[in-house]
Structure 1
């Protein structure tokens, strides 16, 4: 069955589990933007435990905006901060050097809209993961979608998903296993085994 899901900033493991185990993926692009979600946030494993990387956006709750119309606040050099955080967290991981060059465009090229940026993140990750996923987009917003499995709730930070199978993380000995982080945590630690891992998991 098709999977209906939000495009997010460097999606977490749960998002990819939903996508690789579906026949095709439909991105929800007709919704109103909601603050404090994974639309502009990803979580990595730093030296002190879970760490959030957030893309700053220009958005006010007073005037509802469509997700596709929300702009990135590029006043501060947030991309450099995110890159340095990834380097600090994963430079000692087995596959960091193998994949980081493919990802550099995300931290060097300026993007104006968060939805466009998230689409680009996904395209880059598909290439890195060597995944073939059929993608389309919504044409209108449906509260109850037809003929699609609705995974849109995964975008909410407080949505509870299963704890996934453990794999070795850089700081496992210090803080233990942390489930459902950014797909980059899995990719940098598991490399080519990432796709097989994703297909074995359930949400």
Structure 2
């Protein structure tokens, strides 16, 4: 089955529960960039709070195609994100195994946000061992025989508002209360090879 969606930055668990059983994932290559969305932000769990990692972009206030949005390296965001990930997950069981794959993407210094996000998504799918073909759809309109979920995954969605995800607890490093629907790297670093089965248990029935 095909699914049609947006490309996000280190997507959350709901994103992956939506695409989990799909054969083909089509990413919207025609859309205009939208601020304050998952296109440039992701959530991780630190010792005392859930932290939002946000990638600064140049020209995000103007009406521009997502694929033309450049990352703003004048701001020292990259080191902040890498240090944040290391601080959050450095003691996680699978950190040493998976982190180099993630770090390598940042070290490429991608010019465009879309390209970096595509690289990160590809790495995460590989680490999850999900066999889904990823393509960028360059035409306007609906893809034939596909499930279109564009616009359904929102930054402000919370418990009871998720379209594809239901909370399934797993071992996290910090906090008494489980923090649901974080970036996929939270699940990967904490659970490793069990990540796929936890995603399946997290699919909203």
TM-score of the pair, normalised by structure 2: 0.90
Supply the RMSD in Å over aligned alpha carbons: 1.6
- Structure-1 separation of matches of 2:35 and 2:187: 26
* Matching residue of 1:181: 182
Q: Which runs of 4+ in 1 moved over 4 A?
A: none
For residue 2 of structure 1, report the CA deviation from its aligned partner: 1.1
TM alignment of 1:141-156, pairs within 5 A: 141-142=140-141, 146-156=144-154
- The alignment covers a number of residue pairs equal to 199
Bigger helix fraction:
1
Q: Is the 8 A contact 1:26 1:136 kept in 2?
A: yes
For residue 60 of structure 1, report the CA deviation from its aligned partner: 4.3
The 3-state SS of whatever aligns with 1:153 is coil
Q: What whole-Å deviation, never above 9, does each CA across 1:83-111 have from its counterpart, x for those lacking one?
A: 10011111121111121112111232211
Residue 13 and residue 60 in structure 1: after superposition, are their counterparts in 2 closer, same or farther (change >3 A)? closer
Structure 1: unaligned runs, 5 residues or longer: none
Q: 2:196 matched to 1:198?
A: no
* Matching residue of 1:39: 39
TM alignment of 1:11-160, pairs within 5 A: 11-61=11-61, 63-142=62-141, 146-159=144-157, 160=161
Q: Is the 8 A contact 2:35 2:60 kept in 1?
A: no
Q: Is the 8 A contact 1:106 1:121 kept in 2?
A: yes
